[in-house]
Amino acid sequence: MSEKMNAVVKTKPELGADWLQVDVPELKPDWVLVKVKAASICGTDVHIYKWDPWSDARIGAHNLPQTLGHEVAGEVVEVGKGCKRIKVGDSISAETHIYDPGDLTSLLGAFHVGNNMKILGVDTNGSFAEYFAVPESVCWVNDTSIPPELATIQEPLGNAAYAVLGEDNDVAGKTMLITGDGPISLFAVGVARACGVARIFQFGKYDFNMEIGKKMGADYQIWTNKTTAKERKEFVLDHTDGFGVDIALEMVGSQDSIDDCFDLVRKAGRVSAFGIPSDSPLPIDYANGIVFKGCQVHGVNGRKLFDTWYRNKNLLANLRIDPKPVITHMFTLEDYKKGFDAMLARPRFSAKVILFPEQAELDAAKKRFGIE
Q: Which stretch binds Zn ion (CB under 5 A): 36-44, 127-135, 195-203, 212-220?
A: 36-44
User: What minimum distance in Å lies between the beta carbon of 287 and Zn ion?
Assistant: 34
Q: Which stretch binds Zn ion (CB under 5 A): 42-50, 83-91, 144-152, 212-220?
A: 42-50
User: Considering only residues 32, 34, 41, 42, which one is a binding residue for Zn ion as defined by CB under 5 A?
Assistant: 42
> Which residues, including other chains, have CB under 8 Å from residue 29's CB and lie 6 or more apart?
80, 81, 82, 83
Distances (CA, A) of 265 to 202, 217, 230, 298, 328: 14, 20, 14, 13, 31
* Residues of this chain, 274-293, that bind Zn ion according to CB under 5 A: none
Question: Under the criterion CB under 5 A, does residue 138 sit at the interface with Zn ion?
Answer: no
Closer Cβ to Zn ion, 188 or 197, answer by number: 188
User: What minimum distance in Å lies between the beta carbon of 97 and Zn ion?
Assistant: 10
Choose, from 44, 96, 224, 308, the residue flagged as catalytic: 44
Provide the β-strand partners of residue 7.
20, 129
User: What minimum distance in Å lies between the beta carbon of 71 and Zn ion?
Assistant: 5
Closer Cβ to Zn ion, 44 or 124, answer by number: 44
Q: For this structure, is 44 an active site residue?
A: yes
Closer Cβ to Zn ion, 262 or 274, answer by number: 274
Q: Which stretch binds Zn ion (CB under 5 A): 40-48, 120-128, 135-143, 235-243?
A: 40-48
Site size for Zn ion (CB under 5 A): 2
Closer Cβ to Zn ion, 44 or 202, answer by number: 44
Give, in degrees to the nearest 5, the angle at Cα 91 between 89 and 92: 125
The C-alpha atoms of residue 71 and residue 127 are separated, in whole angstroms, by 7
Closer Cβ to Zn ion, 129 or 236, answer by number: 129
Choose, from 11, 47, 224, 298, the residue flagged as catalytic: 47
Q: Which stretch binds Zn ion (CB under 5 A): 37-45, 72-80, 226-234, 324-332?
A: 37-45
Q: Give me the residue whose beta carbon is nearest to Zn ion.
A: 42
Q: For this structure, is 240 an active site residue?
A: no
Point out the residues that are catalytic: 44, 47
* List of residues contacting Zn ion (CB under 5 A): 42, 44
